[in-house]
């Protein structure tokens, strides 16, 4: 089926639901790239959200999203701290440590960036999963939404890329699985944080209401920072009223 054919076989409600899920997915990635990296004192990295009008979405787009998140409705472009993965982290560490202690901080920084990229990949499908759980008035927890479940929330390609990272991290399959579980927990906790979720939700709402094909990095960062500041101010004011 041609990708530019307007959907006739899917209802408008289904299309809107799909668009909402995608918006939260990409808002999650964007929030991770900015807020998670910022919290870890990592350098800012350029990214943008590329978005397509709902009326131009095809049935093939929806099917691709459901199977592999090969989606052309919206996507985050850029945002990775590490674009080129080394053959193995061990070999990289050996090369750098030949330059003695002066390079050890670079190794630590690289590892921090390496893990942050993986976490930010997982935050996208987790944000979509939380949106679906909230919309259906269901629980959002590790038992219901685990790593295997992410494929149901457009996470197949995110998981595939995370595994590419981990293959450079560990040669042992068990170690890769344990590290992925560890980073999944970090990503889950990020999404489940009230302030972060408020920021993700605000950005998702903006995406849904925007007529822009591209939402730029500066605009996204400003919106996320404003949302976090607003949330913190409201919490501070509530605590002040409570203690008054």
pLDDT at 92 over 70: no
Distance CA 187, CA 196 (A): 11
Is pLDDT of 68 > 50? Answer: no
CA 16 – CA 163 distance, rounded (Å): 31
pLDDT at residue 159 greater than cutoff 80 = yes
What percent of the chain has pLDDT above 70? Answer: 75
First to last CA, the chain: 64
- Which helix (H) or strand (E) segment is 16 a member of? helix 12-31
Give Cα separations from 147 to 1, 130, 210 (angstroms): 32, 14, 31
Taking alpha carbons only, the member of 112, 116, 110, 52 closest to residue 79 is: 116
Between 156-169 and 59-68, two packed helices, what is the crossing angle to 10 degrees? 30
Task: Please report the pLDDT score of residue 198 as a whole number.
Answer: 97
Note the pLDDT tens digit of each residue in 3-39.
Answer: 233 334 456 777 788 889 999 999 999 999 999 999 9
**Whether the predicted pLDDT of 239 surpasses 70:** yes
Residue 70 has pLDDT above 80, yes or no: no
């Amino acid at each position: 089926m041609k990708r530019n054919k307007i959907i006739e076989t899917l209802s408008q409600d289904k299309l809107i639901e799909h668009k909402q899920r995608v918006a939260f997915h990409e808002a999650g990635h964007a929030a991770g790239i900015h807020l998670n990296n910022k919290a870890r004192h990592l350098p800012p990295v350029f990214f943008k959200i590329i978005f397509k009008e709902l009326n131009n979405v095809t049935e093939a787009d929806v099917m691709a999203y459901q199977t592999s998140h090969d989606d052309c409705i919206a996507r985050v472009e850029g945002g990775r701290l590490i674009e080129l993965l080394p053959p193995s982290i061990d070999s990289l560490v050996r090369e750098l440590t030949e330059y003695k202690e002066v390079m050890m901080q670079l190794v630590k920084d690289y590892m921090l960036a390496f893990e942050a990229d993986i976490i930010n990949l997982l935050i996208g499908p987790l944000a979509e999963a939380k949106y679906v759980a909230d919309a259906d008035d269901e629980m959002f927890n590790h038992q219901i939404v685990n790593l295997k479940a992410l494929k149901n929330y457009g996470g197949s390609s995110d998981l595939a890329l995370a595994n590419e990272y981990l293959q450079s991290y560990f040669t042992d399959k068990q170690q890769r699985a344990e590290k992925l579980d560890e980073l999944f927990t970090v990503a889950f906790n990020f999404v489940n944080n009230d302030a972060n979720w408020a920021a993700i939700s605000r950005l998702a709402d903006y995406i849904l209401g925007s007529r822009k094909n591209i939402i730029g990095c500066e605009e996204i960062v400003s919106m996320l920072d404003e949302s976090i500041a607003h949330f913190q101010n409201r919490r501070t004011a509530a605590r002040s009223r409570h203690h008054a």
